[in-house]
Structure formats: C-alpha cells, structure tokens
Amino acid sequence: MMAALSAARYLKASGHDRSVLILERNRVLGKKLAITGKGRANVTNARSVGEFVQAFSPSGRFLYPAFDSFFSDDLVTLFAEAGLQLKTERGGRVFPVTDKAQDVVQALGLLLVRNGVDVRYSARVRSMDSGSGDWKIGLESGGFVRCLAVVVATGGKSYPGTGSTGDGYELLERVGHHPSRLLPGLVSLHCPEKWLRELAGTSLEGVAVEAWVGSQLLARRQGEVMITDRGIGGPAVLSLSLAVTPALAESKAVLLRMDLRPEKTLDQELHDIETCGNADEILVHVSRFLPKRMVLELMRVWGIEGKGRMPLPKKTLTAVAGSIKGVELKCTGADPLASAIITQGGVALREVDPRSMGSRLVPGLFIAGELLDLQAVTGGYNLQAAFSTGFLAGRCAAEYVAKSANDSRL
Ligand SMILES: Cc1cc2nc3c(=O)[nH]c(=O)nc-3n(C[C@H](O)[C@H](O)[C@H](O)COP(=O)(O)OP(=O)(O)OC[C@H]3O[C@@H](n4cnc5c(N)ncnc54)[C@H](O)[C@@H]3O)c2cc1C
C-alpha cells in the first residue's frame, strides 16, 4: 500500500501520466495490518533513527536510506492528512488515538483513492517475467498484467490466513534472488519445567531474561514476561526469540535465565534474603516485587514452603537469592512460523540496493517490507520498516518508470 501510494504521488507530482496498480490476493487490503498490536496497530516508535537501526541489529544500517526518505514523523504527517491522529505510549510505542488498527488500514485506503491508485482484489500473483523492457505478471485466475516496474511487497510467511503465505520468496527465487532460511521471529518459547504450568497467565513486569548456549550469551532483554501454558512469552521474550530460534534450528541446547529483580545486584539480594532469614519473611519480601501466586510456587521450588519462622540455613538463603537473580529454564522449542509475529530471514540484503530498494539482479524490480532479511524487536519498528522501505521502493519504481518513458521518447 505504501509503495503504491508513494509511486502514485511521485508520478503525479512529476507530471507523468502513468497508472499504479496494487494486485492483492485478498478481497480486502491490509488484513495483517488490521490485526497488529492486538488490534491497536503499534505503527511506529517515537525513538531516533539510531535507535531504530539498533533495533534491527545487526543489519539495521541497511535501513538508513529508507528511514532518510520516510521516517516516523513523515508517517504522523501522512496519517494526519487522512484525518488519523497518533499517540505515543510507554517505550515510545506509537498507536492511532482511536486504538483501532482498522482505522490505520482505512486511512491508507483513503489516501490510495485520493491519489488515484487502482486495486485489483482476489488477484494472486503466480509468476513474474521480465521481457524486453517490461514485466508480465501472471495471476492465479489466469490473466496477466503488463507493467514497466514492479514492487514485490508480499510480506513474510507468518499468519498465512492474512494472505502472507510466502509467495514472494518463491516469485523472487524464480527471477534469481536467494532468500535465506525462514524462521519464526517474535514468538513465545517452550520450557518443560512443570512448576511453570501452575503459573500460566501470570505476568511479570521489569524482568530481565537471557538466553545462553553453553557459556555464550546469545541475548538479554528486559521488560514484561508472561508465563504461558507451554513456557514463557510477553514482549521481552518475543524480542529474545530473535536470537533463540536460529540456535534451536541448529539443535543447540538453549538455557534461559530470568533475573526477577534486575535492579539489585546478587550481593544486595543475598543481603535482603539473609536479613529475612526465614520463610515467612522471605514470602513478604519477595511478594513486594513478584505476584503472590508466583512467590508461593517458588517457595515450593525452593523447598521452604510451610517452614514458617524457623531460621533457614545459610546454604538455603544463598540458593534462594541465587534463584531470584537467575531462575533457570530449559528452552526446548518455540512457537511455529505460522503463529509468529514476523518471519526471520528473507531476501538477502546484498541483492538489494538500500538507496532504492531495487534488485541488484533484475532491472525494474523493487523489493520492500518483511520479505527482506530484516527483523527487529517489538515496539513498532517492523511496521515502520515496512512503511519506509515501501515508500522508498515505490518512489524509486516510479522514477524508473518516468525515466523509461523519457528514454523511449528520445
Ligand atoms: C499478530 C501480529 C501482530 C503484529 N503487530 C505488530 C505491531 O504492532 N507493530 C509492528 O511494527 N509490527 C507488527 N507485526 C508485524 C507486521 O505486521 C509486519 O512486519 C508487516 O505487516 C509487514 O508488512 P508487509 O507490507 O511487508 O507485509 P504484509 O502486511 O504481510 O502484506 C503483504 C500483502 O501482500 C499480499 N500478498 C501476499 N502474497 C500475494 C500474492 N501472491 N499476490 C498478491 N498479493 C499477495 C497479502 O495478502 C498482504 O495483503 C505484527 C504481526 C502479526 C502477525
């Protein structure tokens, strides 16, 4: 949508009488966009370009030109044109003031209409052939469309019910691109520990969670952790999963370590626990920063349940403090790609020119959005990257078309 909008605007502004067409396999536009942010659409983040690039680490630098051409402030201005205001929440997350993702889809739809973009629905693209200076796009329905430039922005391979079934990877592979291995990104992790099951649905705020393979720290994230019926989830874990699923795919044994009180050092925690000295006081102390339900379960795990005011041995107190600073959980799996928030992997960045989103292999082809091998933590970064790369791809595709038209007049 963003690519088509930016292409149409460029062509109009530069006086070129060329049309822009979206081929959408669904009967509506933006089916995935409409379910983002739990139906509220976390469309971008208020943080700086540098922090965005960091969020896409290690490949974020690729996005500098796209963010340069269209960033979060441009998104705010664009939506305001369509009468949609945005607001900023905790962690810089930006949402529509109406809290409705559908309003974001409608705003984009309105801008498409105003800018004269045509949309053909139920038009699943099945083939793309570049001939002598133009493209022949084959549809599942049997027909085909001819065009001078094409932007492929078919999304990743997660939530296939929204239309993103990974067609783009195959289409691009057939014209010479090399998508890397696809893995689930931003997913909950599976842990076999039985005591966790009792706590499904419990939410822990401000917890730090680390992923380890042997003595190698893969990643550390801090924020909300949600205990699920299969392990752990929530924003901090989803972001951590970007480092975990590649390790699991290589059959590495991953250990998760949760620091339940990251603002204290181990020595400080040990001091607090030793000051408590018995189970009753530990219960009161730990309940100050953890939900009661979780504390009672941990008391069982620590073997101090029902020990009342009896003084506990130093060894037990040390173990309790150590556990608060590092609950260890095995990670035996992750939710599948079909239910992942994003697809990790995709079209190799070396095959795409970051200044235009143009294919380095095939002229007249531009690639945008989740199809690219780029992935960020939660917080609105992924949608902004889709908007920014879409905007740049659309504008550069339009420039390419305008140039082709000028050249053919010479
Ligand atoms: C549940 C959920 C919540 C999310 N929440 C957020 C959030 O709050 N913030 C955030 O930043 N990110 C969020 N994301 C991630 C974000 O939605 C994606 O990164 C983003 O939508 C990618 O945009 P895209 O344009 O590349 O692809 P998509 O949004 O997937 O759009 C691709 C479009 O191409 C169409 N298409 C596919 N194949 C074909 C074909 N062969 N022919 C014709 N049309 C085709 C599809 O039908 C679809 O309409 C969320 C994802 C999920 C699943």
User: Which positions ≥6 away from 74 have C-beta within 8 Å?
Assistant: 391
Whether residues 287 and 359 share a domain: the answer is no
* Cβ neighbours, 10 Å, residue 48: 13
Both tokens of 218, joined, read: 């893969």
CA distance linking residue 275 with residue 88, whole number of Å: 42
Beta carbon of 25 within 6 Å of any ligand 1 atom: yes
Q: How far, in Å, from the CA of 375 to the mean position of ligand 1?
A: 13
The CA distance from 169 to 172, in Å, is 5
Q: Where a domain ends, among 334, 355, 379?
A: 334
- Give the domain-ending residue among 334, 368, 386: 334
Asked if residue 308 and residue 259 are part of one domain, the reply reads yes
Over its length of 410 residues, how does the chain's per-residue pLDDT go in tens digits?
999 999 999 999 999 889 999 999 999 999 999 999 999 999 999 999 999 999 999 999 999 999 999 999 999 999 999 999 999 999 999 999 999 999 999 999 999 999 999 999 999 999 999 987 899 999 999 999 999 999 999 999 999 999 999 999 999 999 999 999 999 999 999 999 999 998 999 999 999 999 999 999 999 999 999 999 999 999 999 999 999 999 999 999 999 999 999 999 999 999 999 999 999 999 999 999 999 999 999 999 999 999 999 999 999 999 999 999 999 999 999 999 999 999 999 999 999 999 999 999 999 999 999 999 999 999 999 999 999 999 999 999 999 999 887 776 65
| Ligand 1 pocket residue status of 154, Cβ below 6 Å | yes
**Do residues 359 and 279 both lie within one domain?**
no
Cα–ligand 1 centroid distance for 155 (angstroms): 5
15 and 120, same structural domain?
yes
Q: Is 172 exposed, middle or buried (CB count within 10 Å of its CB: 0-12, 13-18, 19+)?
A: buried
pLDDT of residue 17: 85
CATH of residue 39's domain is 3.50.50.60
Encoded amino acid at 352, one letter: V
Please name the residues in contact with 293: beta carbons below 8 A apart, sequence gap of 6 or more.
199, 202
What pTM does this model have? 0.95
Same domain, 152 and 212: no
* 171 in the same domain as 29: yes
- Whole-number Å distance, alpha carbon 32 to ligand 1 midpoint, is 5
20 lines ligand 1 (CB under 6 A): no
In the prediction, which pLDDT does 123 show? 98
Select from 258, 237, 240, 253 the least CA-distant residue to 323.
Answer: 258
Q: Are residues 305 and 385 in the same domain?
A: no
3-state secondary structure (DSSP) of residue 157: coil
DSSP code per residue over 111-138: HHHHTT-EEESS--EEEEEE-SSSEEEE
Residue 54 and residue 376 in contact, taking contact as beta carbons nearer than 8 Å: no
For 332-381, the DSSP string reads -EE--GGG-SEEE--B-GGGEETTTTEESSSTTEEE-GGGBS----SSSH
Q: Under DSSP, is residue 110 helix (H, G, I), strand (E, B) or coil?
A: helix
Ligand 1, atom 36: closest residue by C-alpha: 154
35 lines ligand 1 (CB under 6 A): yes
Whether 76 and 127 share a structural domain = yes
32 lines ligand 1 (CB under 6 A): yes
Are 355 and 399 part of one and the same domain?
Answer: yes
Task: Name the residue of 159, 170, 382, 389 whose CB sits within 8 Å of the most ligand 1 atoms, as the mutation to test its pocket.
Answer: 382
Q: How far, in Å, is the centroid of ligand 1 from the Cα of 168?
A: 12
| Rounded distance from Cα 164 to ligand 1 centre (Å) | 6
Residues 6+ apart with CB under 8 A from 33: 41, 101, 104, 105, 108, 383
- Whether residues 249 and 144 share a domain: the answer is no
Q: Which ligand 1 atom is the nearest neighbour of the CA of 155?
A: 27
Range of the domain at 258: 189-334
Exposed e or buried b per residue across 200-237, where buried means at least 16 C-beta atoms within 10 angstroms of its C-beta: eebebeebbbbbbbeeeebbbbbbebbbbebbbbbbbb
Identify whether residues 75 and 170 lie together within a single domain: yes
Q: Do residue 210 and residue 276 come from a single domain?
A: yes
Of ligand 1's atoms, which has the minimum distance to the CA of residue 41? Answer: 8
Count of the separate structural domains present in the chain: 2
Cα distances from 119 to residues 10, 17, 123, 149, 317, in angstroms, run 18, 17, 9, 16, 66
Hey, whose CA ends up nearest to atom 22 of ligand 1?
A: 370
Point out the domain boundary residue: 334, 369, 386.
334
Q: What is the DSSP string of 269-288?
A: HHHHHHHH-BHHHHHHHHHT
